[in-house]
Amino acid sequence: MQERRVLVTGGSRGIGRAIAVRLANEGWSVAIHYGQQREATLALAAELGAQSSGVYGADFSDPRQATSLVQSVLQDGPLHAVVNNAGIYVPNDFLHASAVEFEATLRRTMAVNFESPLLIARAAGQHFLVQGGGTILNVASRVGFKGESGAVLYAASKAALINLTRSLAVELAPAKIRVCGIAPGWVDTAMARDGMPDRLQQILKDLPLGRMASPEDCASAAAFLLRDEASYLSGVVIDINGASYFH
């Protein structure tokens, strides 16, 4: 495969890190974004060696930084794909949270999980339009399809990301820009473990395959969607949920 360059957001740990490693192993040149974990991202870049194509920081709680991020990455070379992986989950009691807490969680969740991926897709898409094509891959979540108590704002942001994926797939297809996604269920990451200490046994009981997904399971699906073999797939969002639900 001719070397191609991909931007992976939230690449310092978890699913993003696994995707960055998998794509580097498949010959991609990987630009890695981080929000706070600069040292971990630099360590990952060192691990990727020649397949690393830069480390870039941006705080997506300010969505304007998403556009600036893409501009900075493009200053260092062309892009052929972006993986919108960065995201946050903040538990929220819909009725009992204070007005200040609710407003802050709403704004931050939508900024990081929806507005920033949207602006990255727009900035990258404008580059892909001139370039003659490219791929946008959005990392959504099972709760974008399947609601969950205590996760109203997170679920809404991921549902918006899923429908952004589908709508952009239709609109950008004539420009040879594919837009796909993955929707992980429970994944064994630090972010997931923070929300499950009292629920682990019930979570495992509800998973027919008997285990949570690994970040590498998610990376495998993402890598497939970015390959030439998947060139006719656009608008698809692949569930990674161990047969735990269907829609």
What sections of 59-209 are H helices per DSSP? 64-75, 99-110, 116-131, 152-172, 190-194, 200-205
Crossing angle of the two packed helices 116-131 and 64-75, in degrees rounded to 10: 30
Give catalytic status of residue 232 as yes or no.
Answer: no
Residue 202: what residue type? Q
Judge contact between 140 and 154, C-beta under 8 A: no
* CA-wise closest residue to 41 among 23, 53, 29: 53
Q: Which of 34, 56, 89, 154 is catalytic?
A: 154
Q: Alpha-carbon distance 224 to 189, whole Å?
A: 21
Domain ranges of the chain: 5-237
Q: What is the pLDDT along the chain (247 residues), one digit of tens a residue?
A: 457 999 999 999 999 999 999 999 999 999 999 999 999 999 999 999 999 999 999 999 999 999 999 999 999 999 999 999 999 999 999 999 999 999 999 999 999 999 999 999 999 999 999 999 999 999 999 999 998 899 999 999 999 999 999 999 999 999 999 999 999 998 987 656 665 666 777 788 888 888 889 999 999 999 999 999 999 999 999 999 999 989 8
Q: Rounded to whole angstroms, how far apart are CA atoms 114 and 162?
A: 10
State the amino acid at position 43 in one-letter form: A
CATH code 3.40.50.720 for 5-237: yes
Task: Say how many CA atoms lie within 13 Å of 181 toward its Cβ.
Answer: 28
Q: Does residue 230 come out as left (phi exceeding 0), alpha (psi in the -120 to 50 range) or beta? A: alpha
- Please state, in angstroms and as integers, the Cα–Cα distance from residue 87 to each residue in 24, 113, 221, 227, following that order: 22, 5, 18, 24
Euclidean distance between CA atoms 64 and 176, whole angstroms: 26
